[in-house]
Amino acid sequence: MQPIDPAAPPETDGFEILVELALDLRSAWNHRADRLWEEIDATMWRETGNPWLVMQSASRARLRELWATSQFRDDAQELLQARRHELAAPQWFQLRHRDEALTSVAFFSLEFAVAEALPLYSGGLGNVAGDYLKAASDLGVPLVGVGLLYQQGYFRQSIDASGAQRELWPFNQTRYLPISPLRNADGAWVRVRLPRPGPAVWLRGWQARVGRVALYLLDSDDPSNTPADRGITGQLYGGDEDVRLLQEMALGIGGWRLLRAAGLRPEVCHLNEGHAAFAALERARDFMQEHTCSFDVALAATRAGNLFTTHTPVESGFDRFAPDLVEAHLGAYARDELGVELSKLLAMGRVRPEDAAEPMTTAWLATHCSGAVTAVSRRHAEVSRQIFQAQFPRWPEGDVPVGYVTNGIHVPSWDSEASDALWTRACGVDRWDGGEETVGSKIAACSDAALWAFRASARADLVAFVRERLSLQLAAAGFRGARLDVASRVLDRDTLTLGLARRFVEYKRPTLLLHDPERFVRLLCDARRPVQIVVAGKAHPRDEQGKALVAEWLRFARRADVRMRVVFLADYDLRLAEHLVQGVDLWINTPRPPWEACGTSGMKVLVNGGVNLSSLDGWWAEAYRPEVGWAIEGDGHDDAQDAAHLYELLERDVIPAFYERDPAGLPSRWVARMRASMASLTARYSASRALRDYTDGYYLPAAREYALRAANGGQQAASLVRWEDTLRRQWPGLRFGEVRVRTEGSTHSFAATVYLGELDPDAVAIELYADGDKATGPTRVALRRGEPLVGARGFSYVGEVASARPSWHFTLRAVPSHSGVAVPLELPLIVWQR
């Protein structure tokens, strides 16, 4: 059978309508068209959830037969009209920011988890990116995604009969994926060339629709490429250092070129991790070519419109590339297209620019090329300032320019059908589209009986799903007879159900519950108050320690005394995650602080009435209060101590709260936590909130500053480059003279002599600085410039500060000052009073 070509003329009436509906990945969270796909092929729809695959697998006769029925035809036409109306209607962005000159934000990410029908993700980074695109569609934010189309994507996990993880690499056949070739106005397939010496490397452009958002994808599997180059986009996080560098070039350089070929001119470029750093270089090259200016001027203009978000909690997690490898792949690009020597490009990605042996780190490069840097939670921002401080020598940690927007999840993608109905009755249909201020109080008004009935039903659904999936898993591993019979009877619909599903890596401590296995067994097997747990997670194929952690859980789950209460489900993917977060009562997360950047999995249980028990790290460090869940408060340095605390929480608080019932048979203490969690946290940790924070706090300011710098061919950017060059030359001439302090009552008065040398006084700010704690933060007070010094180039500076702290806590410092320049991100010069 020939595949359906979305661009081809319709084969029969109704084809174009079904194609438009099938290719919109809104089906991942908007389920109104589900009945159409089920009617076409119920089995294929149930097994894949991929409308485009349903269309591809159906016979033309079946489609014509269905279209001939008025009910099917009317349903399809009604759904199409509803889709088009919803996508055209003004949303939050259009209503709130209709006068802003922001037409496009380009969001670059190495992975996107939009739907299981498009498996281009491995874990958390992809989940955040996919949810982000969905929220942009809901809110009407003019955003496009840019990623790679992998021939194999990330591995699928299976568990063999011995209990070992095995990796499978099925191919992503493009004909069955809900994507279309990206074509130009003449109908030709858009292809861009990767700037690398040697044979031409062509990247093909594809497009996926995520509601009103376009996701552009590139793949190197072009028949005109060499066999090795066709494999550049073979596997996500696969291959050696050489392949990784080429993938990041394809994403960044190829991705920007694809956007330009598609006619887009984004004002804002959002780099989701350092993997996307090369997009900033290509954006500057594009500006150079258009305005005939130097690389320095182009970077000064474009960096104002670049935002870099780091997701990495440890410096060792950043990608690094050896200088000789960068020379091989990017040397000619730097010299011929950017007009700079490779040494300058390498220096932009180093902590020590002059160290010729230091690798190029893409996170450092992204920082150098961006107008703002964000972390993904408040705690992660603190950790990131420690990591990035090396790029800002002599600046205090609190001044390291890393802000944060805590991640959120796309709530409609993760709520169950019953959850959606509950929230709709309480809060209305459009509750996550920018007006979440009142949803907390409305959901809090639900009765204990309604909340508990909803939770009990969700748990029963999970038990049914687990039994079915475990049976298939064991059958695939070769088990028969009694083992399959056990699978059909595991878990109990009335038992407290825990969920633990993470990437299996040592710092996430996925086996902390097994630290004292016999104590855990006693919890699970208590006759009056039993507990059960569902576990899932993958270890990277090259992480033998992670695989050993998987095996440890599998061995435990096969113990005769707990095998009815402990289930490890293989191949943790979007579908499995969806069932878990909808069904479990308690989500457990045990990372070793401070190595959890955010950890969005626990956010997904909120809308479904699940409660969290987690280490105080990532998002939970800012969300936790005793009334909404439980916290492991250890610092992560002593696993035995943290495990003991975890067992104690379960024994003393969690299990009793679940099983203690009031006269009506309701666990009132549990429901109280459940209600508080749903009411106070669900909207706060939604992707809708996160995207509105990014839009108001970063996108709009970035677009405005970029417009100023880019105007008139980068005139302001050129002026900034000249100003910065002058400042750098003259900065060594700045020094402090005498500093006098007078304390009267509640005020310290400072008077300082500052010698500026050749510096323009308006280019320098003199500040009083004192360290602070986490609660108050540092104190910074700008001093006023007074009279010029007699016989020397300099001025007196004066200022006051409250005397609540001793005067010797304060130190004077000089920093650059210029309207619109991000100091120290763009210019990390500083001089301290000695």
Phi, psi (rounded to 5 degrees) for 16? -65, -30
CB-CB neighbours of 679 under 10 Å = 20
Phi, psi (rounded to 5 degrees) for 108? -95, 130
pLDDT of residue 634: 85
Taking a C-beta distance cutoff of 8 angstroms, is the pair 319, 366 a contact?
Answer: no
Taking the C-alpha atoms of residue 24 and residue 21, their distance in angstroms, rounded to an integer, is 6
Taking the C-alpha atoms of residue 798 and residue 795, their distance in angstroms, rounded to an integer, is 10
Type and span of the H or E element at 134: helix 124-139
Strand duo 191-194 + 201-210: pairing: antiparallel
For residue 161, give both structure tokens.
């009969």
The CA–CA distances, whole Å, from 348 to 54, 245, 280, 826 equal 48, 16, 12, 12
The CA–CA distances, whole Å, from 603 to 415, 538, 623, 756 equal 11, 20, 10, 53
Taking the C-alpha atoms of residue 277 and residue 361, their distance in angstroms, rounded to an integer, is 10
Find, among 793, 732, 742, 423, the residue nearest to 582 by Cα: 423
Find, among 831, 63, 128, the residue nearest to 410 by Cα: 128
Q: Do domains 97-404 and 491-685 have the same CATH topology?
A: yes
Count of alpha carbons within 13 Å of 558, Cβ hemisphere only? Answer: 15
Strand duo 764-770 + 811-816: pairing: antiparallel
Taking the C-alpha atoms of residue 689 and residue 410, their distance in angstroms, rounded to an integer, is 10
DSSP-H helix ranges across 611-667: 618-623, 639-649, 655-659
Taking the C-alpha atoms of residue 247 and residue 239, their distance in angstroms, rounded to an integer, is 10
Taking the C-alpha atoms of residue 126 and residue 108, their distance in angstroms, rounded to an integer, is 11
**What would the DSSP string read from start to end of 539-598?**
--TT-HHHHHHHHHHHHHHT-TTTTTTEEEESS--HHHHHHHHHH-SEEEE---TT--S-
**What would the DSSP string read from start to end of 162-214?**
TS-EEEE-----GGGSS-EE-B-TTSPBPEEEE--SSS-EEEEEEEEEETTEE
Phi, psi (rounded to 5 degrees) for 219? -140, 150
Find, among 472, 422, 419, the residue nearest to 583 by Cα: 419
Ranges in the chain, pLDDT < 70? 1-13, 434-435
Taking the C-alpha atoms of residue 444 and residue 258, their distance in angstroms, rounded to an integer, is 47
DSSP state of 600: G
Q: Which residues pair with 742 in a beta bridge?
A: 749
Taking a C-beta distance cutoff of 8 angstroms, is the pair 192, 205 a contact?
Answer: yes
pLDDT of residue 428: 86
Residue count of the chain, please give it: 834
For residue 177, give both structure tokens.
């994926």
CATH number assigned to the domain with residue range 97-404, chosen from the 4 options 3.30.450.40, 3.30.470.10, 3.30.70.890, 3.40.50.2000: 3.40.50.2000
What digits encode the pLDDT tens for the residues 532-575? Answer: 999 999 999 999 999 999 999 999 999 999 999 999 999 999 99
Taking the C-alpha atoms of residue 535 and residue 538, their distance in angstroms, rounded to an integer, is 11
Q: Which residues pair with 166 in a beta bridge?
A: 158
Taking the C-alpha atoms of residue 752 and residue 268, their distance in angstroms, rounded to an integer, is 42
Taking the C-alpha atoms of residue 797 and residue 785, their distance in angstroms, rounded to an integer, is 5
Q: Any idea where the domains of the chain sit in the sequence?
A: 15-88, 97-404, 491-685, 734-832
The CA–CA distances, whole Å, from 307 to 95, 105, 270, 271 equal 24, 10, 5, 6
The CA–CA distances, whole Å, from 70 to 73, 75, 78, 682, 771 equal 5, 8, 12, 41, 73
- 335-374 CB burial, b ≥16 within 10 A, e <16: eebbebebeebbbbbbeeeeeeebbbbbbbbbbbbbbbbb
For residue 268, give both structure tokens.
């804002």
**491-685: CATH class:** alpha beta
pLDDT of residue 12: 60
pLDDT of residue 636: 86
From first CA to last CA, the distance across the chain in angstroms is 79
Type and span of the H or E element at 269: strand 268-272
For residue 738, give both structure tokens.
């005498």
Phi, psi (rounded to 5 degrees) for 343? -60, -35
CA 46 vs. chain centroid, Å, equals 29
CA 550 vs. chain centroid, Å, equals 25
Architecture field, domain 734-832? Sandwich (2.60)
Query: Phi-psi category of 187—alpha, beta or left, where left has phi over 0 and alpha has psi -120 to 50?
Result: left
CB-CB neighbours of 422 under 10 Å = 22
The CA–CA distances, whole Å, from 627 to 193, 272, 588, 669 equal 56, 34, 17, 10
Q: Secondary structure of 435-496 in the HEC alphabet?
A: CHHHHHHHHHCCCHHHHHHHHHHHHHHHHHHHHHHHHHHHHHCCCCCHHHHHHCCCCCCCCE
Long-range contacts of 347-354 (CB under 8 A, 24+ apart): 349/277, 351/390, 351/391
Q: Which residues pair with 308 in a beta bridge?
A: 271, 373
Taking a C-beta distance cutoff of 8 angstroms, is the pair 310, 373 a contact?
Answer: yes
Phi, psi (rounded to 5 degrees) for 625? -145, 150
Handedness of CA 247, 249, 251, 255 (dihedral sign): negative
Handedness of CA 270, 272, 273, 278 (dihedral sign): negative
Taking the C-alpha atoms of residue 72 and residue 319, their distance in angstroms, rounded to an integer, is 51
